[in-house]
Amino acid sequence: GVGKTAVVEGLAQRIADGDVPEGLEGRRVVALDLTAVVAGTRYRGDFEERLNNIVQEIRAHSDKLVVFIDELHTVVGA
């Protein structure tokens, strides 16, 4: 690509250094690996259940997280 991962890594470093706007202070950058989420799912319902659990967890901690989903285009529409 175009360096999306490098941008996110730079953001994570700036958060760690405290060099971000107030709204990002104290947040954690987490990468969601959708290929790992899909791995081992035999049926569509398995993937949906996993993804639903992840989304619930993200929502529960949304005030503390920045979620990065790399390679989203490889899963959307699959």
> Distance between CA atoms of 18 and 62, rounded to whole angstroms?
19
- pLDDT level of residue 64 (50, 70, 90 thresholds): very high
pLDDT greater than 70 at residue 45: yes
Least confident of 47-51, 64-68, 72-76: 72-76
Q: What is the pLDDT of residue 77?
A: 65
Query: In angstroms, what is the C-alpha Rg of the chain?
Result: 15
Q: Hey, where are the domains in the chain?
A: 4-72
What is this structure's pTM? 0.77
Q: Is the pLDDT of residue 75 over 70?
A: no
pLDDT digits (tens, 9 = 90+) for 2-41: 888 899 999 999 999 999 999 999 999 999 988 888 888 9
* Whole-angstrom distance, CA of residue 58 vs CA of residue 53: 9
Q: Is 8 exposed, middle or buried (0-12, 13-18, 19+ CB in 10 A)?
A: middle
Give the ranges where the chain is alpha helix by DSSP (H): 4-17, 34-38, 44-60
